[in-house]
């Protein structure tokens, strides 16, 4: 496979839309893709063991969904620094202990978005500083509530499913 041409057809605030031409087996193919700086998601664990989720309105789906706190990397930003920033901005908590849980692509068929998933522990409340367009309600859940939410198909996005399942596997030992 050989890349013949690449054109940025739209440059957005957080991502670019790109058209690429490839030569594959002697034929020219055109592919559209999203170039994304990457993102972070956080499993924030309160001192009592509950995990903080967010009920947030998402314009793309036109509904409220339950998610782990998350956000987009600013260009050139280190993933851990972005996770620390997003946790304070969205929840008002700062974590004194961080560890990487996983890394994965969200939609490799059309996007370069790469997710860095962290567990944040030893939380202390320092005050929220949300963006004015974010409609977020914090929803702490126990391990049992997380398992029920999975069974009831409450979580509708990939990062939350991956983060919840991996964290439960880790703490439940299964």
**pLDDT by residue (tens digit) across 78-113?**
999 999 999 999 999 999 999 999 999 999 999 999
Domain 39-172 class in CATH? alpha beta
What pLDDT sits at residue 131?
64
User: Which two tokens mark 14?
Assistant: 């957080």
Q: How confident is the model at residue 75 (pLDDT cuts 50, 70, 90)?
A: confident
- Establish whether 67 is a catalytic residue: no
Distance (Å, whole) CA 5 – CA 23: 10
Percent of the residues in the chain that have a pLDDT greater than 70, as a whole number: 97
pLDDT for 129 beyond 90: no
List, in sequence order, every residue forming a beta bridge with 66; answer none if it has no partner. 55, 155
Given the residues 21, 54, 122, 132, the one annotated as active site = 132
User: Tokens representing 146?
Assistant: 């997380």
- For residues 31 and 62, what is the distance between their CA atoms, to the nearest angstrom? 28
**Predicted confidence (pLDDT) at residue 43 exceeds the cutoff of 70:** yes
- What are 164's two structure tokens? 């919840």
Q: How confident is the model at residue 12 (pLDDT cuts 50, 70, 90)?
A: very high
- Give the separation between CA 82 and CA 128, rounded to whole angstroms: 16
pLDDT of residue 134: 72
The domain segmentation of the chain, as residue ranges, is: 2-35, 39-172
């Amino acid at each position: 496979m050989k890349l013949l041409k690449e054109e940025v057809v739209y440059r957005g605030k957080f991502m670019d839309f790109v058209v690429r031409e490839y030569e594959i087996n002697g034929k020219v193919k055109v592919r559209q893709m999203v170039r994304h700086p990457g993102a972070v998601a956080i499993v924030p664990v309160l001192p009592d063991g509950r995990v903080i989720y967010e009920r947030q309105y998402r314009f793309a789906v036109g509904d409220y969904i339950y998610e782990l706190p998350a956000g987009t990397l600013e260009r050139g930003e280190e993933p851990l620094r972005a996770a620390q920033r997003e946790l304070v901005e969205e929840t008002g908590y700062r974590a004194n202990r961080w560890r990487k849980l996983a890394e994965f692509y969200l939609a490799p068929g059309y996007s370069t978005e790469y997710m860095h998933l962290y567990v944040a522990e030893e939380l202390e409340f320092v005050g929220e500083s949300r963006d004015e367009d974010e409609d977020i309600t914090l929803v702490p859940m126990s391990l049992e509530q997380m398992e029920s939410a999975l069974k009831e198909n409450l979580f509708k996005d990939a990062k939350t499913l991956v983060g919840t399942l991996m964290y439960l596997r880790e703490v439940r030992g299964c």
